[in-house]
Each structure stands twice: as structure tokens, then as C-alpha cells.
A and B are shown apart, each in its own frame.
Chain A
Amino acid sequence: SYELTQPPSVSVSPGQTASITCSGDKLGDKYACWYQQKPGQSPVLVIYQDSKRPSGIPERFSGSNSGNTATLTISGTQAMDEADYYCQVWESSTGVFGGGTKLTVL
């Protein structure tokens, strides 16, 4: 079965740029999306089709996908961005999530 690998944790200082990676075989050939989940809350879609932002998502969130790696980038990270982030793709009509990355803003 297809697997997506994310680093368990990433730390960033306020105002700096955070990058969260998601790796999978030929991931660049698929569309990746990203979800943000704050403690005790439901996931929220922040990036879809590799780099598109849904309405209401701040411009500081951006995405890219090439080769075997998709990347979620948060520019000018704010304390409110501290959350778990999950990448997700579709492979053979099956939804696959990465294991999640805990972003700490300190």
C-alpha cells in the first residue's frame, strides 16, 4: 500500500518560515493537499491541488509538490499556526494520509 512520510515534529520561531515535508513514491505525479488540526478541533483544509488555498486561508500558507516530496510552507509563522499538519493524496482510489507533523511555534 502507498505510504506518506512526514517528520513527527517541526519547530519554528514566531515570524520565521516553517516548512513541513511529505514524502512518497512519485508523489509529484499526484495532487497533494494539507490539513491543519488544532488540539481538540476537527481538521481544516489549508492547501489543495498542491498549492491552492481555500477561501479564508491566509496567504502565508503555500504549497509545492515535485519529485517525491510535497512541502507545506508557512511564511511569517504566528502562534496561532501551532497545530498538527497532515498531508493527503489519492492512490488507486484510496485516500492516504501522512502520519502528521506537530508544528511548534516557540
Chain B
Amino acid sequence: QLQLQESGPGLVKPSETLSLTCTVSGGSISRGSYYWGWIRQPPGKGLEWIGSIYYSGSTYYNPSVKSRVTISVDTSKNQFSLKLSSVTAADTAVYYCARHDVPASETFDPWGQGTLVTVSP
């Protein structure tokens, strides 16, 4: 059964870079036609897609954060990562990683459990 697990610092200072890693278990990140995505959810609010990556390194990002985001992949570790620069309090959110079924259903399934990142001095 495919499982995803987010990890990284829970507290980031304003103007610094948020860095998270998603570890995939129960399947290879480089098998199949899947992308791997990041989605976030501010406390008490809705979901926002951040971006997705293919194991080859091909990426696409939400224009709302494109200038600040980098998603990378490490197939040897079966991991993919998120970096979001110049963070502000508005970036405080639960960050989820998920398998992104491209180009078939274009859905996110399954999701990791999520990790809360707070941006605060």
C-alpha cells in the first residue's frame, strides 16, 4: 500500500525558506506515469495546489507561488522535496504531499498525513 510522509521544520522565520521532504513507501517514485504533488491548507481554510513533479524532474507550479517555489526529486531515496522562499505569515499552513495521477485522472491520491508549518519570528 502506497504511503507518503511529510517531514521538516514546523517553525520558519519570516523571509526565510521553508523546506519539506516527502518520503514515499510501498512503491517506487519512478514507476508509472505518476507525478508527485504538494498541496497546502492554511488553518481553518481551503486547499491550494502548490506544484507537481515527475521523477525525471519535470515540474509545473501554481502561478500564485511560482516565483518562490522549487520542487525537486531524489529517486535514490524515493523522496521529493518542496522549497518555498521568502515566506510570510500567509504561508502558515498544513502542507500535504500526494501522488498526482497525470495524465489519467489528474487527481491527488493518496495523501500524506500533512505537516503544520508556522511562519513566525
Cα–Cα distance between A54 and B37 once the two chains are bound (Å)? 19
**A61, chain B: closest CB distance, angstroms:** 14
Write out, one digit per residue, whether chain A residues 63-106 have a CB within 8 A of any chain B CB (1) or not (0).
00000000000000000000000101010011111111000000
B105 touches A42 (CB 8 A): no
Cα–Cα distance between A52 and B105 once the two chains are bound (Å)? 10
Cα–Cα distance between A49 and B113 once the two chains are bound (Å)? 24
B49 touches A43 (CB 8 A): no
Known: A48-B105, A90-B106. A42 touches B112 (CB 8 A): yes
B49 touches A95 (CB 8 A): yes
Number of A residues near B (Cβ < 8 Å) is 23
**Interface membership of B108, Cβ < 8 A:** yes
Cα–Cα distance between A100 and B47 once the two chains are bound (Å)? 8
Cα–Cα distance between A105 and B64 once the two chains are bound (Å)? 35
Interface positions, chain B 15-65, Cβ under 8 Å from A, are 37, 39, 46-49, 60, 62-64
Cα–Cα distance between A33 and B64 once the two chains are bound (Å)? 22
Residues from chain B with Cβ under 8 Å of A90 in the complex: 106
Residues from chain B with Cβ under 8 Å of A97 in the complex: 46-49
A100 touches B46 (CB 8 A): yes
Could you list some 15 contacts between A and B, CB below 8 A? A33-B105, A42-B110, A42-B114, A43-B47, A43-B96, A44-B109, A48-B107, A86-B46, A88-B47, A88-B108, A95-B39, A97-B46, A97-B47, A99-B46, A100-B47
